């Protein structure tokens, strides 16, 4: 025990069993210059946890935990809350990006549909002019209205539409 400073003895008493076991394992299994079990035990008896610190031993009963349960729970709650906030922020950013992409796609679909609709209307109108449906419709209107649409009006109508062919 002469190799171990008094100040560290008090700190060592406060360490949990798992950390003491970790210290012991590191001392005897480090890559460069590992200590023998005897050398590690000579540093301080609390470091060798297996023989000295079992659940029923008096030595373990005197070891104060590093944090109280309330402190651990508070830290876990804070960490969980932080992770939750990061997750929410990340999810919101991802959803915002997806929404922007979908809005762009939607607008392009609207433009494509408007273009397709205009083209379909023009093709349908040309078809109805070619097959005489428009002229039959005009003739039916003349009979129904009881008035005659002049030939220049018909040729004007035909000329205005047929130039788009």
Which of 19, 41, 61 terminates a domain? The answer is 61
| Helices within 6-162 (DSSP H only) | 6-14, 17-29, 37-43, 49-52, 58-61, 69-130, 133-145, 151-162
Which residues lie closer than 8 Å to 59 by C-beta, 6 or more apart? 45, 46, 52, 53
Which burial class, exposed, middle or buried, applies to 49 when counting CB atoms under 10 A from its CB (0-12, 13-18, 19+)? Answer: buried
In a domain, 19, yes or no: yes
Q: What is the pLDDT of residues 107-153, one digit of tens each?
A: 999 999 999 999 999 999 899 989 988 888 888 888 888 887 766 55
Residue 17: its pLDDT value, please?
Answer: 81
Tokens 């932080």 map to which residue?
A: 82
CA angle 30-32-34, nearest 5°?
50
Question: Which of the pair, 65 or 8, is modelled with greater confidence?
Answer: 8
In a domain, 76, yes or no: no
pLDDT at 59: 43
What is the reported pLDDT for 70? 85
The answer to whether residue 80 sits within a structural domain is: no
Per-residue pLDDT tens digits for 4-56: 566 677 777 777 888 877 777 777 777 677 777 677 666 666 655 544 444 43
Alpha-carbon distances, residue 158 vs 62, 111, 139, 148, 162 (angstroms) = 106, 29, 14, 16, 6
Q: Vertex 158, ends 141 and 115: CA angle to 5°? A: 100
Whether pLDDT at 77 is above 70: yes
Domain count within the chain? 2
Least Cα distance to 1 among 47, 42, 53, 59 occurs for 42
Whether residue 10 lies inside any domain: the answer is: yes
Q: Is the pTM of this model over 0.85?
A: no
């Amino acid at each position: 025990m002469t190799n171990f400073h008094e100040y560290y003895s008090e700190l060592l008493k406060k360490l949990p069993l798992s950390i003491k076991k970790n210290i012991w394992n590191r001392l005897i299994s480090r890559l460069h210059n590992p200590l023998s079990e005897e050398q590690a035990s000579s540093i301080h008896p609390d470091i060798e946890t297996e023989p000295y610190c079992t659940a029923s031993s008096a030595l373990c009963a005197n070891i104060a935990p590093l944090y109280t349960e309330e402190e651990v729970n508070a830290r876990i709650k804070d960490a969980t809350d932080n992770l939750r906030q990061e997750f929410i922020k990340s999810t919101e950013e991802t959803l915002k990006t997806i929404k922007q992409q979908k809005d762009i796609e939607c607008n392009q679909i609207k433009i494509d549909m408007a273009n397709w609709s205009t083209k379909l209307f023009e093709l349908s109108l040309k078809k109805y002019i070619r097959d005489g449906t428009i002229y039959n419709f005009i003739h039916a209107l003349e009979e129904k209205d009881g008035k005659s649409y002049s030939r220049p009006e018909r040729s004007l109508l035909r000329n205005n539409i047929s130039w788009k062919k």
